[in-house]
C-alpha cells in the first residue's frame, strides 16, 4: 500500500498551484462579483495541456491519468470554484461520453478539439420536470430520414452559452422511460438549438448556466452517440466519473476554507492573543483539517480505482457525498472563524460558503449518492 | 551549435519551513523541495537561447542521492538532458565543495560552450558557486546579468550587468559562465505534456566514486536558528509633542538619521 503521490502528480500539483497564483487567484473575486466567465483562463488552461488531461494524445489529450485530472480540479477550485467546475463539465461531462461511446469519426471531429481546448463542451440531461428522475424527460428525438428532429427544453446546463458542442439527451422511444433515452452530439449553431435564459446563481457565479431549447432541431443521424436507447447508460456512466470531479471541486473549496481560517486565526487578535490560541477555534480547525483529509482520501481512492480499471461507481458516490457535505460544513465553520468580516462581500470565505452548496446538489444530489451507495452495499 | 549547461540546486521550499517557538529551531520534517528560484531563471534562459539559436541544454545538479525527484522537475522545464551528480553525503555541502564536485563532473564528460547559474541559491545565497566554478574551469565569468544575447557569427555573448550604480554591458568569447538575476526572464510553468515527457529524457547518473574526493569543507555549520525580530512596542502620544519626543529618542539612539 502506498499513500504517496508520484513525482509527476506532485509536479502537476505544484505547477497548477503556480498557475493559480499567477492567473486564477487575481481574478477569482471579479469572476464571482461581476460575474464574468473566465474565458482567458480557459485559453491558458489549454496552453498548459489541461483541457484533456486523462484522454489519449491521439485524441488531443495529455495522455495522463484520472488522478492527475482530479488534482488539477482540486487546485483550480481551491483558487476559484467556477474555474474548477468549468473544466469538470468540459472534461467529465462532455469529453468522457465521446471518448467512451463515440465512433472514431466522432472522436476526431469533436473529442480532439475539446481536448485541445479549441472548443468547450456541455452536457444537457436535466429538464424542468426531470432532475434526479431522468426518465421523466420530455425532450424527444424523432427520426426523419438521415436526421433526428429534437424538440424540448433543458435547464441548468453549464457551459452551454460558450460550448462548441453539447451532449444532449432525448427520448427516442417515449414508452420506455429511461430505456428510451438516447444521446446526441449537437454542435453550437445547429438550426433549432437555442441557448435560453441565463440563470443567476447563488454560487459558482462566473460559470455560465442556462436553459437549452430544441425547436425542430435537426441533428444528422451520424451524431447519435452510442446506440439508440443507450442514452441512460451513457448518462449514468458519465455522471459516475463526473462525481469524482465534483468531489475534487468540493475538496478544493474546503481546503481553501481551511487555508483562510488558519491564516486569519493566527492574525486576528482578541483578548490580547491570536484567536488561534483559543481552544474554541483550535477545535474547529482540527475538525476541518480531519474531515478534509478524509475527503481527500475518498476522492483520490475513487480516482485510483478509475485508473486501475476497477469499479468506481460506489467510490465516486462516497467521495462526492462526503467531500461535498464536508465543503458545506467547512465553509460554514470558516465564516464562523472569521466572524463578521467573513459575512462581507469581497472576502474569500463569503464566496466559498456560497460556492460549496451546489456541490451537494449537481451531478447527483447527496440523496442520490446515498441511494447509489446503499444500493451497492445492500446488494 | 550552442551547448549550454544550466546549473540548479534542489532546495527546501521555504514556504514549508516552520519555526519551533521555544527553541527557534527550523522544523523541516514536512518540508518539500523545489528548484532554487534563480536557478529556474537559469534553466529558462538556457531554453530561450536554445529556442532562438538551436543547440542543446543540459541541466546539471550536485545533490544528495535522495533528491532524484529534482530531475523530472528540471527536465520538464525544457532541457534535453540532465546530469545528476549525487552521493548520500552531498546534503550540506560548502560552496567550495559544490564547485569542485561540479567542475569534476563537467570535466568528466559534459561538453559546453556556455554555463548559466543563478546569482545565488534560495537557501544559502552565498553567490560563490558560479564565479568559483568559472575560475576552476578557467573560463570568463560575468555576474549580475539581467540581459543576455548570443551572436552566432562570432560566437560571443553580450550581457547587461545590473550593478548598484548603473548597467554595465560586457561581452565575452565562449566558453564562458554567467550568473543571472531573476529579472532576466519569467520562467514558464511546464505544461502537463512536458511533465509527463520528463521521464523519457536521458539523465546521466554521476556518483562520487567516479569523480574522486570532494575535499574538506572550509565552512562548518554549527547551528541554524530562526531570526526573531523583537518589537520594542514603544507607545507615544499622537500629538505633535508626542511625535517630536519619539523621533528625538530614535535620533538619539541613532536608530534613524
Q: What is this model's ipTM?
A: 0.94
B240 interfacial to chain A (CB closer than 8 Å): no
Q: Which domain holds residue B112?
A: 3-226
For the stretch A162-174, what's the b/e string if a residue is b when 16 or more beta carbons lie within 10 angstroms of its beta carbon? bbbbbbbbbbbee
C-alpha distances (whole Å) from B71 to each of A7, B80, B117, B199 are 10, 11, 17, 8
- The reply to whether B246 falls in a domain is no
A363 noted as active-site residue: yes
B71 in any annotated domain: yes
Domain with CATH 2.40.110.10 in chain A: 122-229
The structural domain count of chain B equals 1
Phi, psi of A188 (to 5 degrees): -60, 140
Fold of A233-377: Butyryl-CoA Dehydrogenase, subunit A; domain 3 (1.20.140)
Which residues of B, range 195-234, sit inside 8 Å of A by Cβ? 195-196, 198-199
Q: Is-contact A285 A258, C-beta < 8 A? A: yes
Q: Answer whether A11 sits within 8 Å of B191, measured CB to CB.
A: no
CA distance linking residue A33 with residue A159, whole number of Å: 18
Q: DSSP letter at A110?
A: I
CB pairs under 8 A between A and B: 44
Whether B117 is covered by a domain: the verdict is: yes
Per-residue pLDDT tens listing for chain A (379 residues): 889 999 999 999 999 999 999 999 999 999 999 999 999 999 999 999 999 999 999 999 999 999 999 999 999 999 999 999 999 999 999 999 999 999 999 999 999 999 999 999 999 999 999 988 888 899 999 999 999 999 999 999 999 999 999 999 999 999 998 999 999 999 999 999 999 999 999 999 999 999 999 999 999 999 999 999 999 999 999 999 999 999 999 999 999 999 999 999 999 999 999 999 999 999 999 999 999 999 999 999 999 999 999 999 999 999 999 999 999 999 999 999 999 999 999 999 999 999 999 999 999 999 999 999 999 999 8
Contact call for residues A306 and A241 (beta carbons, < 8 A) = yes
Q: Angle at CA A64, nearest 5°, toward A62 and A68?
A: 115
Instruction: Judge: A62–B196 Cβ closer than 8 Å, yes or no.
Output: yes
Boundaries of CATH 1.10.540.10 in chain A? 7-120
Segments of chain B with pLDDT less than 70: none
Fold of A122-229: Butyryl-CoA Dehydrogenase, subunit A; domain 2 (2.40.110)
> Considering only CA atoms, which of A77, A168, A84 is closest in space to residue A126?
A168
Closest CA of chain B from A63, distance in Å: 8
- Residue B39 grid coordinates: 536557478
Asked whether residue B245 is assigned to any structural domain, the reply reads no
Task: Kindly report the CATH number that applies to the domain delimited by A7-120.
Answer: 1.10.540.10
pLDDT at B78: 98
pLDDT of residue B238: 87
CB contact under 8 A, B195 and A8: yes
Asked if the structure places residue B114 within a domain, the reply is yes
Minimal Cβ distance to B192: which of A10, A18, A62: A62
Under 8 Å between Cβ of B203 and A7: no
Count CB atoms within 10 A of the CB of residue A343. 12
Contact with chain A for residue B69, Cβ under 8 A = yes
Tell me the nearest-neighbour CA distance from A11 into chain B, angstroms. 7
Looking at residue A334, its pLDDT comes to 98
Q: Which B-chain residues 3-32 have CB contacts (< 8 A) with chain A?
A: 32
**How far apart (Å, rounded) are the C-alpha atoms in residues A229 and A5?**
40
**Residue among B192, B196, B200, B231 with most chain A CBs within 10 A, to mutate:** B192
Q: What's the rounded Cα separation, in Å, for the pair B132 and B136?
A: 6
Are the C-beta atoms of residues A186 and A150 closer than 8 Å to each other? yes
**Residue A231: what pLDDT?**
97
To which H or E segment does residue A124 belong? strand A120-124
Q: What is the CATH number of the domain that holds B63?
A: 3.40.50.620
Q: Which residues, including other chains, have CB under 8 Å from residue A135's CB and lie 6 or more apart? A: A177, A178, A181, A232
Amino acid at each position: 500500500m502506498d499513500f504517496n503521490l508520484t513525482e509527476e502528480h506532485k509536479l502537476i500539483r505544484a505547477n497548477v498551484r503556480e498557475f493559480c497564483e499567477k492567473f486564477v487567484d487575481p481574478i477569482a473575486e471579479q469572476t464571482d462579483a461581476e460575474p464574468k466567465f473566465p474565458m482567458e483562463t480557459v485559453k491558458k488552461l489549454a496552453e498548459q495541456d489541461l483541457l484533456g488531461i486523462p484522454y489519449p494524445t491521439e485524441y488531443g489529450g495529455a495522455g495522463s491519468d484520472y488522478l492527475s485530472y482530479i488534482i488539477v480540479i482540486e487546485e483550480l477550485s481551491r483558487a476559484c470554484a467556477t474555474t474548477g467546475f468549468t473544466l469538470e463539465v468540459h472534461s467529465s461531462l462532455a469529453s468522457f461520453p465521446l471518448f467512451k461511446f463515440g465512433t472514431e469519426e466522432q472522436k476526431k471531429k469533436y473529442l480532439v478539439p475539446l481536448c485541445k481546448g479549441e472548443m468547450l463542451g456541455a452536457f444537457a440531461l436535466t429538464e424542468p420536470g426531470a432532475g434526479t428522475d431522468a426518465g421523466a424527460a420530455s425532450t424527444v428525438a424523432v427520426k426523419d430520414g438521415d436526421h433526428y428532429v429534437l424538440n424540448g427544453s433543458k435547464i441548468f446546463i453549464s457551459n452551454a452559452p460558450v460550448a462548441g458542442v453539447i451532449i444532449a439527451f432525448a427520448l427516442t422511444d417515449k414508452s420506455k422511460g429511461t430505456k428510451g433515452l438516447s444521446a446526441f452530439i449537437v454542435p453550437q449553431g445547429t438550426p433549432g438549438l437555442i441557448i435560453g435564459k441565463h440563470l443567476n446563481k447563488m454560487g459558482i457565479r462566473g460559470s455560465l448556466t442556462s436553459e437549452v431549447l430544441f425547436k425542430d432541431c435537426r441533428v444528422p443521424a451520424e451524431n447519435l452517440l452510442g446506440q439508440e436507447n443507450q442514452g441512460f447508460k451513457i448518462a449514468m456512466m458519465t455522471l459516475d466519473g463526473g462525481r469524482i470531479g465534483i468531489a475534487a471541486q468540493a475538496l478544493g473549496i474546503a481546503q481553501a476554507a481551511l487555508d483562510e481560517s488558519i491564516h486569519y486565526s493566527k492574525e486576528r487578535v482578541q483578548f490580547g492573543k491570536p484567536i488561534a490560541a483559543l481552544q474554541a477555534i483550535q477545535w474547529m480547525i482540527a475538525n476541518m483539517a480531519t474531515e478534509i483529509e478524509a475527503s481527500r482520501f475518498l476522492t483520490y481512492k475513487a480516482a485510483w480505482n478509475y485508473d486501475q480499471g476497477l469499479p468506481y461507481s460506489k467510490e465516486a458516490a462516497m467521495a462526492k457525498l462526503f467531500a461535498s457535505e464536508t465543503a458545506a460544513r467547512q465553509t460554514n465553520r470558516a465564516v464562523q472563524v472569521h466572524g463578521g468580516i467573513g459575512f462581507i462581500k469581497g472576502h474569500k470565505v463569503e464566496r466559498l460558503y456560497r460556492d460549496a452548496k451546489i456541490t451537494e446538489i449537481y451531478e447527483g444530489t447527496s440523496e442520490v449518492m446515498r441511494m447509489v451507495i446503499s444500493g451497492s452495499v445492500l446488494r | 551549435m550552442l551547448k549550454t549547461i544550466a546549473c540548479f540546486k534542489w532546495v527546501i521550499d521555504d514556504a514549508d519551513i516552520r519555526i519551533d517557538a521555544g527553541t527557534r529551531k527550523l522544523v523541516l520534517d514536512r518540508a518539500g523541495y523545489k528548484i532554487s528560484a534563480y536557478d529556474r531563471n537559469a534553466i529558462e534562459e538556457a531554453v530561450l537561447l536554445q529556442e532562438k539559436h538551436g543547440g542543446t541544454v543540459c541541466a546539471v545538479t550536485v545533490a544528495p542521492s535522495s533528491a532524484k525527484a529534482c530531475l523530472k522537475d528540471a527536465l520538464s522545464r525544457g532541457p534535453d538532458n540532465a546530469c545528476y551528480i549525487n552521493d548520500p553525503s552531498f546534503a550540506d555541502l560548502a560552496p567550495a565543495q559544490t564547485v569542485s564536485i561540479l567542475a569534476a563532473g563537467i570535466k568528466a564528460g559534459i561538453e559546453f560552450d556556455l554555463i548559466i547559474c543563478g546569482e545565488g541559491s534560495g537557501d544559502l545565497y552565498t553567490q560563490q558557486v558560479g564565479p568559483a566554478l568559472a575560475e576552476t574551469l578557467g573560463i570568463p565569468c560575468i555576474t549580475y546579468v539581467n540581459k543576455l544575447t548570443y551572436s552566432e557569427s562570432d560566437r560571443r555573448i553580450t550581457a547587461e550587468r545590473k550593478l548598484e550604480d548603473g548597467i554595465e554591458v560586457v561581452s565575452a568569447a565562449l566558453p564562458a559562465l554567467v550568473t543571472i538575476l531573476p529579472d532576466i526572464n519569467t520562467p514558464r510553468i511546464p505544461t502537463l505534456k512536458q511533465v509527463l515527457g520528463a521521464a523519457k529524457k536521458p539523465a546521466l547518473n554521476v556518483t562520487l566514486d567516479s569523480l574522486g574526493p570532494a575535499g574538506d569543507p572550509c565552512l562548518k555549520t554549527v547551528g541554524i536558528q530562526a531570526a526573531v525580530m523583537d518589537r520594542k512596542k514603544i507607545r507615544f502620544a499622537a500629538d505633535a509633542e508626542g511625535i517630536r519626543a519619539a523621533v528625538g529618542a530614535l535620533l538619539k539612539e541613532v536608530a534613524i538619521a
